[in-house]
Structure 1
Amino acid sequence: MKWSEISIHTTNEAVEPISNILHEAGASGVVIEDPLELVKERTDKFGEIYQLDPNDYPDEGVVVKAYLTVNSFLNETVDEIKESINNLVLYNIDIGKNNISISEVNEEEWATAWKKYYHPVKISERFTIVPTWEEYTPVHSDELIIELDPGMAFGTGTHPTTVMCIQALERTVKKGDKLVDVGTGSGVLSIAAAMLGAAHVAALDLDEVAVESARQNVTLNKVHDVVNVAQNNLLDGIESGVDIVVANILAEIILRFTNEAASVVKQNGYFITSGIIQQKKQDVKQAMIDAGFQIEEIIEMEDWVAIIGKRQ
């Protein structure tokens, strides 16, 4: 099978929304080439594997690559992707150079092109993300291993927004909790919540491809008895009495259902939000306060923000 590689030279700020655009366009794999990875301080106490080649990274900005099947609709799909990316400026998102190039690769080349970037990574005190094709031996007896197969293009679980959400879940999830994961993507947050002791997790996403990807990962991690994956628009139809709502999505979307989250989360429950760029931090924070949440903690990593709110 032939694949078309679309490469977008952009900014860190635009990585998340552009990745979402590519997913919605039917991308069958995403690679993020960020030169900051080359200068990050690494420790070897967790057994992480890093073999990065500087030639694979841009001198500045970030390159996002995705893979689309070559078919008669490819040109239209690429045009729609370009238009959607250009429209991000309407949300005050800096898209940088926005240089877009297209090349063709075969299936074997595509498989190795993105897998070489994905290795076991310890993202918190308890959790380590491990790709399904990697061998990994836990370092500690209480270490929690999440296996992910990102073949459906919903990420590796190691993006700062996901890492901050999992760290927030570690601080808030109690045994027996009922949780809703809005915009579940790969299902990694729902899987983490189940492993932390949640009794019931609703993993929701509007994208049917995400729903299938999440179901596969939930089954892979043997938490299908706790996590129910379903296609759903935000919190539509969700009844009140939820202990935690977590949403790792664009700030603009979070702002649309903050009041609804307040009606779903029970008293002293939590609303965890992430996927927020620095420029939108105050907007989301104020919306959560106005909806009745007390801000318990703001977590920041690189250019990203996560907020933990407690319903009063």
Structure 2
Amino acid sequence: MKWTELSILTTHEAVDAVTNILHEAGASGVVIEDSKELDKERIDKFGEIYALNPEDFPKTGVVVKAYLSASSFLTETIEEVKLAIANLVNFDINIGENVLTLCEVDDEDWSTAWKQYYHPVKISERFTIVPTWENYEPVSTDELIIELDPGMAFGTGTHPTTVMCLQGLEKVVKEGDTVIDIGTGSGVLSIGAAMLGAKRVHALDLDEVAVTAARENVQLNKTDDVVEVFHGNLLDTVKEPADVVVANILAEIIMSFTDDAFSIVKPGGLYVTSGIIGAKKDEVKAALKASGFVIEEVLMMEDWVAIIARRP
């Protein structure tokens, strides 16, 4: 199927209004390329924020992109968009250069276009995430390289919650440990645990697409002798306790099964959890403590939190 990409160079002030116009014209979503992204300050402790390519961003202002199906009414739709944006000046909205460009896009182009933004990234003292289509040479002898193709599953390995979980696993996983990975996504945490010396990893996810992607990534990283991936909801597929349990999921879900989580962590074992927005930190800590966990460490990155807790 053919699609037309509308690209509009405008101002930060006009972004919301232009986005609304595009939605009303039939776009189900927009892409925003903001020139300010290049100058934004970020925490970069382990290089997890890799260099942005200036070629991907406008020199000034904001580019708002939308995609419309190529139909017989496309010309009229584009003219309506132009008029609606030009009319914003009547509402005292600065639309800047207001340059509109068009190009044709195929469905198959979209399926791989995102890969240009995903590169090797060192996310902890030892772990480096490398996309399967990139060539990478290790920079140290003890570096652990996880090759990853996230496919359609959430989890490129560079989101702050994933980074903190891997950093947490690096702190707590010992040779010969058993590990449970709840909500494995692309399998990156399970693979990391195996590389750190775990003898058995039980990974599970409710999303069948994630299960497929995780199994492929586990095989790709030659950890399928340690990691087994299951389709299941939370702890449904878990039969016995583990030395380490990791869960990178939503705070609300974490709080809903802290008692169950406590029961599958061996006495003296550790629970590493993230997916927690900063505002929920105290609630999650309270829920973990109420179930019997002792909080050992709280990690923070951007507005996200990870908690390492021990079962006494």
Structure-2-length-normalised TM-score: 0.71
**Which residue number in structure 1 is paired with residue 94 of structure 2?**
none
Aligned residues of 2:258 and 2:291 also touching (Cα < 8 A):
yes
Mark the CA change 1:159 to 1:57 in structure 2 (over 3 Å): closer, same or farther: farther
Q: How far does residue 164 in structure 1 lie from its aligned partner after superposition?
A: 0.1
Aligned residues of 2:128 and 2:143 also touching (Cα < 8 A):
yes
CA distance in 1, matches of 2:295, 2:301: 18
Aligned residues of 1:49 and 1:119 also touching (Cα < 8 A):
no
Mark the CA change 1:306 to 1:41 in structure 2 (over 3 Å): closer, same or farther: closer
Alignment of 1:164-179 (within 5 A): 164-179=164-179
Aligned residues of 1:49 and 1:120 also touching (Cα < 8 A):
no
Aligned residues of 2:146 and 2:221 also touching (Cα < 8 A):
yes
Structure-1-length-normalised TM-score: 0.71
Mark the CA change 1:179 to 1:147 in structure 2 (over 3 Å): closer, same or farther: same
Mark the CA change 1:4 to 1:176 in structure 2 (over 3 Å): closer, same or farther: farther
Alignment of 1:1-312 (within 5 A): 38-39=39-40, 40=42, 50-53=52-55, 55=57, 105-312=105-312
Identity of aligned residues (%): 62
Residue aligned with 2:214, SS: helix
Q: How far does residue 32 in structure 1 lie from its aligned partner after superposition?
A: 9.8
CA distance in 2, matches of 1:32, 1:197: 42
Q: Deviations over 1:143-184 (max 9, x none)?
A: 000001122242311000000000000000001111100000
CA distance in 2, matches of 1:178, 1:231: 19
Q: How far does residue 212 in structure 1 lie from its aligned partner after superposition?
A: 0.2
List runs of 5+ in structure 1 lacking aligned partners: 6-30, 71-102
Aligned residues of 2:265 and 2:311 also touching (Cα < 8 A):
yes
CA distance in 1, matches of 2:180, 2:59: 37
Q: How far does residue 240 in structure 1 lie from its aligned partner after superposition?
A: 3.8
Q: Deviations over 1:5-56 (max 9, x none)?
A: 9xxxxxxxxxxxxxxxxxxxxxxxxx9979657533769999x664244627
Residue aligned with 2:261, SS: helix
Aligned residues of 2:201 and 2:228 also touching (Cα < 8 A):
yes
The residue type equivalent to 1:202 in the other structure is H
Mark the CA change 1:126 to 1:4 in structure 2 (over 3 Å): closer, same or farther: farther
Aligned residues: 249
CA distance in 1, matches of 2:301, 2:116: 24
CA distance in 2, matches of 1:141, 1:256: 42
Residue aligned with 2:125, SS: coil
